């Protein structure tokens, strides 16, 4: 059985709630294919780095990250309301292209 620390459990819970909050956002810059790949919360619960994957071209990805940054206060408030944590982390959103990279590798392997 894996030995998970408290921070790992909190990171997974924040990831699940962050996905739900992003689905509820009404920003037109957010496409329907925005997913949270991972969330890393610091040990003091002050900061969280969210890795976001956006399906689409580069401009759609930049627009989605800009929309999430502008909604950062709302996201923080919603996470604080949904989770009972001592401190609600301040989010930084970072674009993650691992899903697109995996699809690209899959296409290369199909062609072989």
Per-residue pLDDT of the chain (112 residues; tens, 9 = 90+): 456 688 999 999 999 999 999 998 988 888 778 889 999 999 999 999 999 998 888 888 899 999 999 999 999 999 999 998 888 999 999 998 887 788 889 999 998 8
- Per DSSP, 94 falls in state E
Cα angle 47, 72, 81 (rounded to 5 degrees) comes to 80
Provide the pLDDT for residue 1.
Answer: 43
State the helix-helix crossing angle for 72-82 and 6-24, rounded to 10 degrees. 120
Question: Which spans in 25-97 are helix H?
Answer: 58-70, 72-82
Provide the pLDDT for residue 93.
Answer: 95
Class of domain 6-111: alpha beta
Provide the pLDDT for residue 3.
Answer: 60
């Amino acid at each position: 059985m894996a030995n998970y620390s408290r921070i790992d459990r909190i990171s997974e819970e924040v990831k699940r709630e962050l996905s739900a909050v992003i689905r509820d956002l009404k920003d037109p810059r957010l496409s329907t294919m925005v997913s949270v790949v991972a969330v890393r919360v610091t040990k003091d619960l002050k900061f969280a780095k969210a890795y976001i994957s956006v399906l689409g071209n580069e401009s759609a990805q930049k627009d989605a990250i800009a929309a999430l940054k502008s909604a950062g206060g709302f996201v923080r408030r919603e996470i604080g309301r949904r989770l009972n944590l001592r401190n609600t982390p301040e989010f930084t959103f970072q674009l993650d292209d691992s899903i697109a990279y995996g699809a690209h590798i899959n296409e290369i392997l199909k062609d072989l």
